[in-house]
A and B are shown apart, each in its own frame.
Chain A
Amino acid sequence: DAGITQSPRHKVTETGTPVTLRCHQTENHRYMYWYRQDPGHGLRLIHYSYGVKDTDKGEVSDGYSVSRSKTEDFLLTLESATSSQTSVYFCAIPGVGNSPLHFGNGTRLTVT
């Protein structure tokens, strides 16, 4: 999708291993968001960033950490993955085109 790229697109990992997901934007926006999507829950906010090195927790932040060392990249880390973190993870930035929030194509993470 224009403006935002997530990597990897798919990841399978074992319980207890660390995992880092990357979100890269080319819109130079201050704000970036990480959501997870699970059946029956819609999307839920994990963490967000309002500038380089400025981050804050969302609704479901337990078990996750984030880092923003430069404007274009927002990393989501699962320090020790658990099966409950099997989900689809979406990164989003505001204001691309007419969209108040523009989403990447997601990373499907499976924790076995």
Chain B
Amino acid sequence: SQQGEEDPQALSIQEGENATMNCSYKTSINNLQWYRQNSGRGLVHLILIRSNEREKHSGRLRVTLDTSKKSSSLLITASRAADTASYFCATDARNDYKLSFGAGTTVTVRA
């Protein structure tokens, strides 16, 4: 069964704007990860947040985690055309790399 679900399914923004996407999950987790996938390529890890963390930053990325609501958000600030990709959240319940992925959010950044 699918653990994580992303919202929205698709997002189109202008270059320079911020992009926010959300992930909800169903069962308790050890950590939550975000990945990016460019067309025809494998997934690339962006950021990992542990269950005892509430917020994490990496460059233009900000991730929040609310374990009481079983939800996470990914914010990409000052978006660029190169940010055009699909973004996936994935949960790891036992820290054993057996990840449960959501269906992804497709982000298009218009020049």
Contact = CB atoms under 8 A, between A and B. Distances in A.
A101 B41 CA distance: 15
A100 B41 contact: no
A100 B102 contact: no
Interface string B1-40: 1101000000000000000000000000001010000001
Given A31-B97, A33-B97, A42-B88, A101 B4 contact: no
| Chain A contact residues, majority secondary structure | strand
B103 interface: yes
Nearest to A97: B45
A63 B85 CA distance: 31
Interface residues of B, number: 23
B101 A98 contact: no
A33 B98 contact: yes
A66 B45 CA distance: 25
B59 interface: no
A44 B3 CA distance: 10
Contact of A1 (B2, B33, B42): B42
Given A1-B42, A90-B43, A100-B45, A44 B98 contact: no
Interface centre among B31, B43, B90 (most CB of A within 10 A): B43
B42 A45 contact: no
Interface of B: 1-2, 4, 31, 33, 40-45, 48, 88, 90, 92, 97-104
Given A42-B101, A48-B97, A99-B45, 20 more contacts: A33-B97, A40-B103, A41-B2, A41-B103, A42-B88, A42-B102, A43-B88, A43-B101, A45-B99, A59-B1, A59-B100, A92-B97, A98-B45, A99-B44, A101-B90, A101-B99, A103-B44, A104-B42, A105-B40, A105-B41
